Structure 1
Amino acid sequence: MSRRGRKASLPPADHRRPESLHPDGLVVRHANATGHVKEYDFSALPGEASLRHSLARLFAARCDGAWTRHATSKVKYTHVALFARFLSQQEHPPRDLDELTAALLKRWWQASKATNSGRSRFRTVTALLRDDARLQAGPVAEELARRIGQLPSSRQSFSDADFDQVKGTARQMFRAALLRIEDNARHLERWRGGEYAAGSLEWEVGEALDILAGTGTLPHTRGPSGQASLVGRYKRVLGGVRSEVTWQRLFLSRAEATALGVLLMAEYGWNLSVIDRAVTPRAVPDPGSDGHPTYRIPLEKHRRGAGRYYETENVTDSGAGSPGRLITQALQATRFARALAAELVPGTDYFLAWRTHRPDKITADRDRPPAAGPIRFGISADDAKGWGKDAGLGGSPFQRGRRTVLAVEQGERAQHSQDTHDRIYVLPDQRVQAAAVPVIAAGAASAVRRARAAVRLVAELSQTRDPVHAETATADCSDTIGSPVPAADGGCGASFLMCLACSNARVHADHHPRLAHLHQALDHLRSVLPTTAWARDWGDAHARLEDLKNKIGEGGWQHALARTTSTDREIVDHLLTGDLNP
């Protein structure tokens, strides 16, 4: 069954899937998901024949179902060819895979690990080699099991200004195309409704539009040398032969379709492969009492792996600026191209449809949807690259644009796991890192405040001195024997700064001037020391003094500070230099 529930056409009764490996053992045939075959010639690789046969056999096994796209097998073949070249350049090249050594594989890893492309080659080759029964034990097998991480991506998201430029350029181009198609569609509808007098200019334009809608082209004559020329009457009524005044009246051009693709990427985070094979969205049967259509969009996402290709998105067009408005506009702009494609090739139902300038040109990329007459579908990487250059962007906006949508704007994952989303898209992105700095700083400051709030004065406040208590540099001690930090001689081994954190300590009014001066001295130290150093050495003591200050009150604290003596200042100096530490 097709994705729309129609019965798929059956292959001929004598149809057989071609064998992946040619009888000579050196040519591999890869049939993609649509049945088109691409051949890879391993006889062109360097090395002994036995080695090339072994590599071809492993490669063919992967072509038998593991890889569904020619784009995949093409890249993998390039990786294998580079490995074969590497082996041939060794002093003693292996004649077959059973002569591979762990040292040789380590050398291949050293030559590959510096870049992500090199690591990708290494992963490809080791994955193939692990399938060989001769390499599944011993030091070579251990080397083939090496875990290969991904280097941080150098590709970054667009800045706000640059991404606004990308979207603005695409929106301007697509909107102009949409207005043009809508204007001509209304003219065609009036012509079909008989509103124009036969023979009038409006009637002749309507007739030309009707021919365009039904065939995608206009009548031409052939000159003596075989060149095609638009019939004169249509040239006259339409204003020339340029595509802008002929077939573009009802169809998007390649550049305009690419602009629509850019908008789909910016709105929904779709990549080129998703856009390429997206089928026409349909409004759900019950759009709701408000009359706003909700579109159900089936999507193919091949990177998720077999069995998880398909997913559905739902978006509602509730007016300008709503998520579904772009879908409504895209359906309007592509309706003539989609209708013509379905007429020429029944069952065709791709969403992004446009007319090519060169209907006679056949694409060599057999992974992409096949053409339907002059109608093409989706966007190729070359289309995206050309559009970006023409727009002054220097290249395709899709990879950087999609990174911007996923990592910066929406923060949603698509076609990958949360781990991939974070590791590949979010964490390496400089915009995300810059935006995270104030958030992290605020979180750290909050954590410090909470930690400081947890550091309280433990010593008890008393009104007067108890003569039986021992005096310390910061408080009086009610029990020098039962110290929580005993010294080797049986006394207390804690710093005097820790007295305020001890339940044995007693703080009375005579201590306040010295402690207020210590608090002031610690504030002065904070202004000259690195923040981390000050927090490590003095932060807790300062927090306990803050707690004491809050308990005494601002007025009492200032009064105590005014009563500071020279002895208090001298003792505080010794505390800060460490002279009074045990």
Structure 2
Amino acid sequence: MPETDWTPPSRIDESGLRVTVTNEGTTHSVVVDLTALPGSPELRRELANALATKTGPTGTWKRVAVVENIAWCLETFTAHLAENGIVSIAALTPGAWNAYRLHLDERFAPKTATHILSKVVGLLRVSPLLPDAMAPALRMRQYHNFKTDPQPTYKVEDFEAIQKAAQHAVHAAARRITANSALLAKQGDPSLSPEQAQRAAALQTLLDNDGYLHSRSNLDVFAALGATTQYPNVIRGKTYMKASGLITEARAALFLTPAEATACAALLICHEGYNYSVVHNLTVPDRAATAADTQDAYRTPTDKPRRGKAGRHQTDILVDDGEESVGRAIRWIREATEPARRYLADRGTPTDRLLLYWPQRSLGPASGIPDYVRDTARTWWPEGVPKPGNWAMLHRTHVTRIRRRPEHHSRRTFVNEYLLLDQAAREEANGVIRQGLESALRPAVSRLAIRIVPSDTDVPEDSDTAVASCADYDHHPRTGVRCDESFLMCLRCDNAKAGPRHVKRIVLLHDALANLRSAIDSETWEERFQGHYLDLVAFLRNKLTEDEIGEARRQGTDEDRRIIEALLRGEYDRR
């Protein structure tokens, strides 16, 4: 163990402007360079220190992906401060901050401006130089839900075609790599045939040369590994064999190609509905015990930092019960990437990442989901299915069209971020709502008895209730005695008539009950107001047009609103 006074080495270089950021739990790191930012050197060093704190042991930015565009986000901030003569975080004022926010609003779309602000605010809050007066300004709401339009999903049949194509590509890669890995392990075995011995030697040569083979001097190695495709490279009228294509084919004997890595990612998303970051950072699963001795299972840890400390880590048990199962997919991917993990471990850079592949122009295997996904996915993507490699669309389709229940999110997130933004789910929900409303309105329509008269002169004012004119207050149509019911019952009464002065109050009563609905508990609503609200909806739908409703609402006066408020408070009951 280190000494008690031991401090970890600084992740900021000697210039004070470059910060090394490492993924939590892995060795994958990037260097964030703030050298080219506008503004004073002092300000840039302060931001670099804040970035080191934010990405350090006590910070909340634990992934390289969080800081990949941080320099771009800070560029507008440092430029704005430089233009206003501010050279340090300590000199920042609420006025300057608000001016910067207005500058972003003018220059960027709301979503982009909010993204930039979130990064800048995150760094400023951890800086010890931030003035106390800035705290209220930074607490101003920065985040908004910009997703209101329906989000696209694949058709179910297209989703199934993607899963099938990805499964075929992953299975083929696993068979190829495991066969070659087993052959390499038997190198020197006298039981190997001459062809097998030659291929095993070629595989060893590939590893000995760190995956790079000179095309002219290793044609026999390429041939033994099946890398024989001619890649023409025309120079000055002469055609040469292009080395990069042959090398890529040769490496594929033991390592996944970028296209196959995207197929692995797609297959996991199709099976489990993982989002991009979860798949990108998956580690090698452990074997798990199962009730059936004939089944394998894998304990797969997932990490979603946005869930917070209490809920970010989760473990899935994925059972291998056949070629169509997610457990079998995990097994294939694990076997196909094992040679890459051994290769990295032998060279002093061990990793536990699940997804490993060898990019075309790279000196070694890379981890996670490859860049340029849409181009690499085209090699296995099913023909006729649009948008190859759209992970968000694939993830959303799994959540909303396949599983249709929350799995890796809360119920609230599932409803707000998925169901309510899914066009098909919206249409289906609207249909159910319409059916439910029609069903609830049928009794209300049948009991609606109030009659509309064209003019207020047709009904005397001295017979008015809160929402109607009563033809015979002393003789209730059903009881024959003096009426003692709430004025809310007027819409069901044969004695009730509504002139224009009453219609506007009925519209205002409808609006008041609609607002009241969200302010009281469901039990009170159903017991006291739901039936009357349905009466009002039935009246408006069956007796008035949209234009008439709008005009009545505009004609409502303060006195009309006072009468409606008194009615809902019960001031007219049993008078």
Question: Closer, same or farther in 2 for the Cα pair 1:356/1:137, shift >3 Å?
Answer: closer
Quick one: which amino acid aligns to residue 386 of structure 1?
A: D
For 1:171 and 1:20, the matched residues in 2 are separated by 42
Match of 1:118 in 2: 113
Match of 1:230 in 2: 218
Q: CA deviation at 1:422?
A: 3.7
Answer yes or no: is the 8 Å Cα contact 1:38–1:70 preserved in 2: yes
Matched, 1:19 2:10: yes
Which deviates more, 29-38 or 262-271? 29-38
Q: CA deviation at 1:172?
A: 4.0
Match of 2:560 in 1: none
For 1:269 and 1:184, the matched residues in 2 are separated by 31
* 1:212-227 pair list within 5 angstroms: 216-217=206-207
Per-residue CA deviations over 1:79-116 (Å, capped at 9, x if unaligned) read: 22221223344xx4445445544344333333445421
Match of 1:73 in 2: 67
Question: Closer, same or farther in 2 for the Cα pair 1:174/1:228, shift >3 Å?
Answer: same
Name the TM-score, length of structure 1 as normaliser.
0.62
Match of 2:54 in 1: 62
Answer yes or no: is the 8 Å Cα contact 1:272–1:381 preserved in 2: no
Match of 1:256 in 2: 260
For 2:55 and 2:80, the matched residues in 1 are separated by 23
Match of 2:437 in 1: 444
Which deviates more, 127-136 or 295-304? 127-136
Q: CA deviation at 1:296?
A: 1.7
Match of 2:173 in 1: 177
Matched, 1:270 2:284: no
Answer yes or no: is the 8 Å Cα contact 2:261–2:357 preserved in 1: yes
For 2:355 and 2:209, the matched residues in 1 are separated by 26
Answer yes or no: is the 8 Å Cα contact 2:445–2:539 preserved in 1: no
Per-residue CA deviations over 1:7-52 (Å, capped at 9, x if unaligned) read: xxx999x99633355676x524234245677555555433345544
Identity of aligned residues (%): 22
Q: CA deviation at 1:246?
A: 4.9
* 1:56-455 pair list within 5 angstroms: 56-65=48-57, 66=59, 67-89=61-83, 92-97=84-89, 99-112=91-104, 114-131=109-126, 137-138=132-133, 140-153=134-147, 156-178=152-174, 180-181=176-177, 203-211=193-201, 216-217=206-207, 229-230=217-218, 232=220, 235=223, 240=228, 242=246, 246-289=250-293, 291-304=294-307, 310-338=313-341, 348-358=351-361, 361-362=362-363, 374-382=364-372, 384-388=373-377, 391=381, 393=386, 396-411=389-404, 413=406, 417-448=410-441
Quick one: which amino acid aligns to residue 328 of structure 2?
A: R
DSSP-derived class of the 1:295 partner: strand
For 2:77 and 2:395, the matched residues in 1 are separated by 32
Answer yes or no: is the 8 Å Cα contact 2:441–2:538 preserved in 1: no
Answer yes or no: is the 8 Å Cα contact 1:287–1:294 preserved in 2: no
DSSP-derived class of the 2:20 partner: strand
For 1:181 and 1:165, the matched residues in 2 are separated by 24
Q: Specify the structure having the higher radius of gyration (Cα).
A: 1
Answer yes or no: is the 8 Å Cα contact 2:27–2:351 preserved in 1: no
Which deviates more, 317-326 or 160-169? 160-169
Per-residue CA deviations over 1:209-252 (Å, capped at 9, x if unaligned) read: 434665655899x99xx765326387379584746975545543
Quick one: which amino acid aligns to residue 288 of structure 2?
A: V
Unaligned ranges ≥5, structure 1 = 1-9, 197-202, 363-373, 458-469, 487-492, 502-530, 541-582
For 2:182 and 2:86, the matched residues in 1 are separated by 71
Per-residue CA deviations over 1:62-87 (Å, capped at 9, x if unaligned) read: 24331333432343332222212233
Question: Closer, same or farther in 2 for the Cα pair 1:179/1:474, shift >3 Å?
Answer: farther
For 1:146 and 1:429, the matched residues in 2 are separated by 31
Q: CA deviation at 1:312?
A: 1.5
For 2:71 and 2:314, the matched residues in 1 are separated by 30
CA RMSD, 1 decimal: 4.8
Quick one: which amino acid aligns to residue 83 of structure 1?
A: F
Match of 1:519 in 2: none
Per-residue CA deviations over 1:559-581 (Å, capped at 9, x if unaligned) read: xxxxxxxxxxxxxxxxxxxxxxx
DSSP-derived class of the 1:438 partner: helix
Quick one: which amino acid aligns to residue 435 of structure 1?
A: E
For 2:444 and 2:179, the matched residues in 1 are separated by 67
Answer yes or no: is the 8 Å Cα contact 1:130–1:136 preserved in 2: no
Match of 1:498 in 2: 493
Q: CA deviation at 1:186?
A: 8.6
Match of 1:7 in 2: none
Q: CA deviation at 1:354?
A: 3.8
For 1:40 and 1:185, the matched residues in 2 are separated by 38
Quick one: which amino acid aligns to residue 479 of structure 1?
A: V
Question: Closer, same or farther in 2 for the Cα pair 1:103/1:434, shift >3 Å?
Answer: farther
Name the TM-score, length of structure 2 as normaliser.
0.63
- Aligned positions, number: 454
For 1:112 and 1:287, the matched residues in 2 are separated by 58
Q: CA deviation at 1:195?
A: 6.2
Q: CA deviation at 1:145?
A: 0.9
Q: CA deviation at 1:350?
A: 3.6
Match of 1:483 in 2: 484
For 1:473 and 1:16, the matched residues in 2 are separated by 92
Unaligned ranges ≥5, structure 2 = 230-245, 450-471, 497-533, 544-575
Answer yes or no: is the 8 Å Cα contact 1:171–1:263 preserved in 2: yes
Q: CA deviation at 1:405?
A: 1.9
Q: CA deviation at 1:314?
A: 0.6
For 1:85 and 1:258, the matched residues in 2 are separated by 39
For 1:121 and 1:499, the matched residues in 2 are separated by 64
DSSP-derived class of the 1:274 partner: helix
DSSP-derived class of the 1:324 partner: helix
Per-residue CA deviations over 1:357-378 (Å, capped at 9, x if unaligned) read: 55xx24xxxxxxxxxxx54443
